[in-house]
Amino acid sequence: MKKNFLIPILLGATAALSLSACNDDISENPLQQEQQTDNLKIDQPNALEKVCYYVDQYWSSNSVLTTSLQNSADTSFMNSQMTKIASLWGRSNPTLRFVNDPSNFNSTYNAISYSTGKIYYGYAIYYDAKNKGGDIVNAMILAHEYGHQLQYIFGLPSVSESTARPNELEADGFAGYYLRRPNGYNQTSFAQIAAAYEFAQSIGDYQTTSSGHHGTPPQRRSAVRLGFLLGQYDLTASAFDYNFFYYYQGVLNGAYKMGKNTQYPEIDAYMSQYMDELRKIQSGEISGEEFKELK
């Protein structure tokens, strides 16, 4: 098992140094051909060599790329989820592939969203997630990874920090949104997605100064909740981004904006009912058990 259960985004590299570092690192990897097609669409300020190295570390040199999981039911579940997630945002499917390492199963404990329109999903994280919380956990991880595709496509997130945190928390938010939408995973109560956000929380980290920081566990939990609440509305990716970051400070430190969200007054009226709750999630005043009972 890896030291951190992170789900990193392969950030589009801007510097030639970063690019060559990625390519060098992966040169003995069967994924090399895929990597060479990299044609980065947007610049991501957080592109650091470390991120590339980190990804390379997870897809070991013995990894193989495949179109299927261990059985056809799992494969069709994931492919159908991929279609549902992409079509929710009015998009055609990205390329979804699975990664297996027969010699070291746990080395594939990862899922990666590439700026070239591909999502690579490790066998190990798939089966661990399924064992821990069932299908919904993998639906959420896939929706999180697709959230990164939306970021590549639309030049999001609109907020940048010195770490990957805004990218990652927004991706958690996109996932919470997907789980709620009627034309998404269609879960009407928050308790129904408990397994999913518990998993998201479990992979939060406290490496707050690391470039790969994904947000602390309470922040990730709050981000999923915020995305779920925004799932009350049919939003474009950019509108989701606007609203997510309008309330983002509350996810980070419980300081929700009290001013009016004049661009989306209806959403603001709805969200105002949840300000105190969101603050308490972040501060820990709402316990893990109480959190599961939220509507």
- Provide the binding-site residues for Zn ion, judged by CB under 5 A: 7, 9, 168, 171
**Helical H runs in 59-205?**
72-88, 123-133, 135-154, 165-180, 194-202
SS3 96: strand
Closest separation in Å from C-beta 214 to Zn ion:
7
Q: Which of 54, 30, 51 has the alpha carbon at shortest distance from 40?
A: 51
E strands of the chain, at which residues?
64-66, 95-100, 111-114, 118-122
Give me the least distance between CB of 111 and Zn ion, in Å please: 8
Cβ proximity to Zn ion: between 62 and 158 the closer is 158
CA angle 215, 220, 223 (to 5 degrees): 115
| Paired residues of 111 in beta bridges | 121
Nearer to Zn ion, 219 or 254 (CB): 219
> What minimum distance in Å lies between the beta carbon of 168 and Zn ion?
5
Nearer to Zn ion, 63 or 110 (CB): 110
Please state the closest distance from residue 267 (CB atom) to Zn ion, in A.
25
Measured CA to CA, the distance from residue 27 to residue 21 in angstroms comes to: 10
Question: Considering the complex, what minimum distance in angstroms separates the CB of residue 171 from Zn ion?
Answer: 5
Measured from the CB atom, is 168 or 241 closer to Zn ion?
168
Nearer to Zn ion, 12 or 254 (CB): 12
